[in-house]
Each structure stands twice: as structure tokens, then as C-alpha cells.
Structure 1
Amino acid sequence: MNRTPFAVLALVRFTVLLRPHSEQLVIRYSERAECDMPVIMPADSAGLVSDW
């Protein structure tokens, strides 16, 4: 059985899911901190962190 189509489909899905987050993935944390760019943590944007 050839698994190539399944691997390609998984790669396409992975790419589509991560495309909106490419800015966070391409620029390093230290580079964002040096340039005073906002550092958005995934837990913050997902609403998983709450203030006590």
C-alpha cells in the first residue's frame, strides 16, 4: 500500500492550520522582544489563562 497520498494530505492540513500563525513561528521570541513587538502567547490568545 502506498502511503504517499496520506503523507501529502497530512502535510497540507498541517500547513493550512499553521499558516495564520506563521508570524509567531518565523520570528524568534528574542527578536520580538528586542523590537518591542507584542509577544502573544498561545495560551493568552486562546483564553486559557485567567487572572485570579
Structure 2
Amino acid sequence: MPAQLLDCPDAPPVPGPDATQRSVGLWILDLSAAHAECRDKLGRVRELVRGE
């Protein structure tokens, strides 16, 4: 199993109480990207385990 498939990016830190709408929007995009990367890696692991 390739080692790079076993590591997901950390969620970005939550913006503070003084965050702007822009910084919250960018945080949402970063959070979504981290989730998508991890989901894609898990899908590849699933394929390898199932022999697909």
C-alpha cells in the first residue's frame, strides 16, 4: 500500500471570532479541499483492498 494514501491533510484552523466573510469563505474552500483529498485517497485504498 503506497504510504501517501495513508495520510490525509489536517483540517485548516477555524477562523477566529474577528474573521471576515472572506476569510471564512476561504476556510470553507480549504476545508472542502482537505476533505476531497482524504476521500479520494480512501477511495484508492478501498480499490486496492478489494482488488479493483
Global fold match (TM > 0.5): no
TM-score, normalised on structure 2? 0.38
Larger Rg: 1
